[in-house]
């Protein structure tokens, strides 16, 4: 088994994780992640949190190898559920089991490291001994050749998306979490990228969040 969700519930209320707490934790641990004006950020989020909106209600599923697709309109909680699976957010109730499998995530925003070029971004998740030919193969499959030395701000939106996917694949995960991975890609390229992902993840589980229809046969489906 790769993934088991049992009665997952989540609402954003007064008890929800506030971004500020994470920010404070990061500030303590690393001088590189200082975020100014924390207090202002917290206050504005707090009023949002007080709305006490129930989001995920008793979501249960179990999934083995293949593709688990999570669909639903904007704001239904797809990203929230993905973050719960990744262990970034805690559910209010319920259990998540990922059976100690290795997880990689492509966030809805690319989250490339701005001061690293594309190659450095991809290598960032690899051990030092990762063979160059594997990196080159990944870059060429993603059609990112000749842009390895460019920084994120020098890449197009679609290139950043592919670089973020390449970075996640480079870590050779058992479970790959993808939040709207095809945003910014035209349909031909999107099909190609999905085929590459399916090939690389043929022995693992891909959790694919999408609000638009994706031409793919998913073994498991959660509709929010």
Ligand X SMILES: Nc1ncnc2c1ncn2[C@@H]1O[C@H](COP(=O)(O)OP(=O)(O)OP(=O)(O)O)[C@@H](O)[C@H]1O
Alpha-carbon distance values, 30 to 96, 113, 127, 214 (Å): 29, 15, 22, 39
Q: Which is nearer to Mg ion, 107 or 130 (CB)?
A: 107
Contact between 173 and 102 under an 8 Å Cβ cutoff? The reply is: yes
Report the side by side order of strands in the sheet with 205-210.
103-106, 175-179, 205-210, 66-71, 220-223
Q: Which is nearer to ligand X, 74 or 203 (CB)?
A: 74
Residue whose C-alpha is closest to residue 180's, from 101, 72, 91, 103: 72
Q: Which residue number has the CB closest to Mg ion?
A: 79
Of 203-222, binders to ligand X (CB under 6 A) are 211
Rounded CA separation 58/158 (Å): 35
Q: What is the DSSP letter of 17?
A: P
Rounded CA separation 3/11 (Å): 22
| 142-181 footprint of ligand X as x/- string (CB under 6 A) | ----------------------------------------
CB under 5 to 8 A by kind: which of Mg ion, ligand X, none does 200 bind? Answer: none
Binding ligand X by CB under 6 A: which of 75, 87, 157, 199? 75
Tell me if 79 contacts Mg ion by CB under 5 A.
yes
Q: Find tokens 């890449």 and name the residue.
A: 155
Of 42-61, binders to ligand X (CB under 6 A) are 45, 48-49, 55
Of 2-21, binders to ligand X (CB under 6 A) are 12, 16, 19
In the complex, least distance from residue 168 CB atom to ligand X, rounded to whole angstroms: 18
Contact between 3 and 177 under an 8 Å Cβ cutoff? The reply is: no
Tell me if 91 contacts ligand X by CB under 6 A.
no
Q: Which is nearer to ligand X, 1 or 43 (CB)?
A: 43
Contact between 144 and 162 under an 8 Å Cβ cutoff? The reply is: yes
Tell me if 53 contacts Mg ion by CB under 5 A.
no
Instruction: Provide the binding-site residues for Mg ion, judged by CB under 5 A.
Output: 78-79, 108
Q: Could you list the residues that contact ligand X (CB under 6 A)?
A: 12, 16, 19, 45, 48-49, 55, 72, 74-80, 108, 211
């Amino acid at each position: 088994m790769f993934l088991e969700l049992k009665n997952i519930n989540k609402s954003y209320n007064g008890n929800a994780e506030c971004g500020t707490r994470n920010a404070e934790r990061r500030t303590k641990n690393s001088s590189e992640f200082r975020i100014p004006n924390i207090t202002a950020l917290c206050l504005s989020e707090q009023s949002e949190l007080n709305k006490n909106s129930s989001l995920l209600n008793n979501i249960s599923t179990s999934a083995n190898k293949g593709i688990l697709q999570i669909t639903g309109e904007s704001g239904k909680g797809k990203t929230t559920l993905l973050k719960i699976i990744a262990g970034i957010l805690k559910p209010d109730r319920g259990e998540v089991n990922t059976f100690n499998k290795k997880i990689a995530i492509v966030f809805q925003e690319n989250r490339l490291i701005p001061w690293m070029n594309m190659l450095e971004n991809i290598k960032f998740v690899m051990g030092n001994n990762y063979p160059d030919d594997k990196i080159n193969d990944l870059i060429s499959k993603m059609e990112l050749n000749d842009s390895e030395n460019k920084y994120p701000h020098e890449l197009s939106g679609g290139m950043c998306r592919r670089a973020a996917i390449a970075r996640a694949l480079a870590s050779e995960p058992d479970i790959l979490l993808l939040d709207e991975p095809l945003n910014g890609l035209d349909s031909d390229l999107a099909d190609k990228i999905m085929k590459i992902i399916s090939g690389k993840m043929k022995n693992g589980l891909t959790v694919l969040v999408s609000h638009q229809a994706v031409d793919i046969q998913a073994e498991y489906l959660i509709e929010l």
